[in-house]
Structure 1
Amino acid sequence: MIVARRFTPDDASQWNRFVQQSRNGTFLFERGYMDYHADRFIDHSLMFEDEDGAVVALLPASRSGVSLVTHGGLTYGGFVTDMRMGAARMLEVFDALFSHCRDEKIDMLRYKAMPRIYHRQPAEEDLYALFRAGALRVRVDASATIALHAPLAWSKGRKHSLGKARKSGLDVFESEDVVQFHNILQARLDQRYDARPTHSAEELTLLRSRFPGQIRLFGSFRDNRMLAGVITYDCGQTIHAQYMASSEEGRDTGALDLIVHELTTSIFSDRTWFDFGISTEDQGRKLNEGLARQKEMFGARTTVYETYEVDTTVSSIAKAGSSDLAPSN
């Protein structure tokens, strides 16, 4: 029998070890990353244990009213599992989750499934369990991803911009100057979207200090002035571009194109995927076509981030067929 229990700070070391040894966890699920915004979300992360007390799965989660979200502060979430997890056991894990939710008066699960490009091994037992539980897919966000082992050609416009950057004599190298990059990013967001970055410069600096090998800043420079930058999240076989921005001078000289070229053809050429992130708004209902096209011009094509909602008052799914499910009394 599998049971769910709340994560406590005393579990941090065990939690982090499980994430690091899992087949689908990334450093975003380690407590040092999740807990930086603990003041904004009510953490309700869960650990799932078998009859011998061994951890079989983790669920990074936060609570909002009568809903459990996986996780409110993350773009994607869902169950973190190891190599032993199978389809039948995942059904039992979901039953343990639903039992916990009923005890805690949680009526709804909002489940942000982990995109498969972040899996080290196939890990979609959760999607099957969601289907069995009668979950509804309520949101789909379109990301843009380059297959680094078989990249598509850049558009003529991007090639031209790359040529300008090379003729301008720009240099690309890793930088520690998060503040300078954040100023470029903030100016760009103010100008184009009247928005602010998800992370402040202080938060990015803090997170980089906790994960120096995973969170890195690469810049394009002229005379030691940063004209463009990309903050990358190293998730193993997948590199995610968390932030990308150019100054006006950087846009005129193709500074960002030069960084992307170096990242995808040299620095991270041994990886599998380079993910630019989503280009959708309004819960996935609106595609920012200009932004999506900009990423596609680098040879990226669409991958999706899916979100599901499911009634946690359903009866057991491990023993019942999907047509047999009904709310419990």
Structure 2
Amino acid sequence: MSKYQIIPYAKEYKSRWDRFVASLNGTYKGSKNTSFLFHRDFIEYHQDRFEDFSLLIFKEEKLRAVLPANRVGATLYSHQGLTYGGLVLDAEIRLKEVMELFQELLGFLSQSGIEELELKMLPQFYQELPGDELDYLLFLTEAKLIKAETAAVIDYRNRIPLNSSRKHAVNQAVKAGFSVEKTTDFEPFWNQVLIPNLEAQHDAEPTHSLEEITSLAKRFKYNIHQFEVRDAQHQLLAGATIFETQVVAHVQYISATPEGKKQGALDFLFQQLIEERFSHKWYFDFGTSNEQAGNKLNAGLQFWKETFGARTRIQRTYRLQTKNSFKLENVVI
């Protein structure tokens, strides 16, 4: 009889799930590769769009891992409504145990009629402790890398100086009397800047509606922040929405008006965010600059991010066959 028990998520497990995915905050209680995106209130804000199939993995009644996930037919995704995912592990878990529970997980999924598992991995620089166990197990189970996206990231512990062209734009913005303001009102940026720009440039909409981002920001007030740049006449020129985890400040949305682009409003904004507002973090993550599942690179956007001192880290997505659980047998010697 297996010492592991795998249970589909249900509402009665909410408090236990949320305690498990909480950040370590200097302790070893909780999970080591986590994010506020893994809290149930975040996962479920768009629950009508997905068939949730999140799982809790227990060992002798102790919660050892959770998998935020949704199901589409015979495929399980970790989770399509989240920027990243993967198997969220207990802070004190060791490699051999991760191997055991992952084998159990694949067997459970196969018996549940799930043939493929797709994992959009939490980028390594988001982890509070070393936690690459799953990468090794994906190698052993012959998972296929199906997507690699380039994140532009500033490492605060190994800073690269701001490019001279950015410094010039920032100085011009200072002379013009620009200011950066933090706000809880997302409506001006969403309706006046972000939505018109996405529609005009990409024929697209924000992932989050105004109502959704406003609701999420109220629930996660220490993690979701909205910043605006306004000129001396208090006209809105640009803005950015930041998702903050324990170790990373991530740029979720960024946009500027035509006038804001001309006058370097975004240069001014990000100089403030990087140098002052989030300088206590380990990393500042501008996000990816890719299209078509990583097969195309927006070189201009990537270069702009790099002029702030950002360099490339990779976010990987894998797909594997659940029947390959047997490949984890006889590995340990």
Q: TM-score, normalised by structure 2?
A: 0.93
Structure 2: stretches of 5+ with no match in the other structure = 23-29
1:285 and 1:302 mapped to 2: Cα distance?
A: 15
Could you tell me which of 62, 66, 78 is aligned with 1:54?
62
1:120 and 1:315 mapped to 2: Cα distance?
A: 28
One-letter code of the match for 2:313?
Answer: T
Which is further off, 264-273 or 217-226? 217-226
The count of corresponding residues between Structure 1 and Structure 2 is: 321
Structure 1: stretches of 5+ with no match in the other structure = 323-329
Equivalences for 1:251-266 in 2 at 5 Å? 251-266=261-276
Could you tell me which of 73, 90, 112 is aligned with 2:81?
73
2:197 and 2:156 mapped to 1: Cα distance?
A: 28
1:187-229 superposed Cα distances (whole Å, 9 cap, x missing partner): 2212222221111111110110110110001111123332111
2:200 and 2:174 mapped to 1: Cα distance?
A: 27
In the other structure, the counterpart of 1:326 is none
Cα RMSD over matched residues?
1.3
Percent identity over the alignment?
Answer: 36
| Alignment pair present for 1:127 and 2:135 | yes
1:193 and 1:306 mapped to 2: Cα distance?
A: 24
| Alignment pair present for 1:282 and 2:292 | yes
In the other structure, the counterpart of 1:307 is 317
Give runs of ≥4 in structure 1 deviating > 4 Å: none
One-letter code of the match for 1:35?
Answer: E
Contact 2:141 2:328 in 1 (8 A): no
Could you tell me which of 202, 216, 221 is aligned with 2:211?
202
1:159-204 superposed Cα distances (whole Å, 9 cap, x missing partner): 2211211111011121122010112011221222222111111111
Shift of 1:109: 0.4
2:330 and 2:32 mapped to 1: Cα distance?
A: 28
Equivalences for 1:67-146 in 2 at 5 Å? 67-146=75-154
Which is further off, 125-134 or 310-319? 310-319
Shift of 1:3: 2.4
2:165 and 2:199 mapped to 1: Cα distance?
A: 25
In the other structure, the counterpart of 2:201 is 192
In the other structure, the counterpart of 2:25 is none
2:268 and 2:325 mapped to 1: Cα distance?
A: 55
1:152 and 1:199 mapped to 2: Cα distance?
A: 32
In the other structure, the counterpart of 2:167 is 159
Shift of 1:154: 2.4
In the other structure, the counterpart of 1:9 is 11
2:222 and 2:325 mapped to 1: Cα distance?
A: 44
Which is further off, 108-117 or 142-151? 142-151
| Alignment pair present for 1:38 and 2:38 | no
Contact 1:158 1:298 in 2 (8 A): yes
SS in 1 for 2:180: strand
Shift of 1:133: 1.1
1:294 and 1:320 mapped to 2: Cα distance?
A: 49
SS in 1 for 2:267: helix
1:21-59 superposed Cα distances (whole Å, 9 cap, x missing partner): 311111000001010011111110000000x21100010
Shift of 1:318: 4.1
| Alignment pair present for 1:63 and 2:74 | no
One-letter code of the match for 1:304?
Answer: I
Contact 1:88 1:318 in 2 (8 A): no
SS in 2 for 1:91: helix
One-letter code of the match for 1:216?
Answer: H
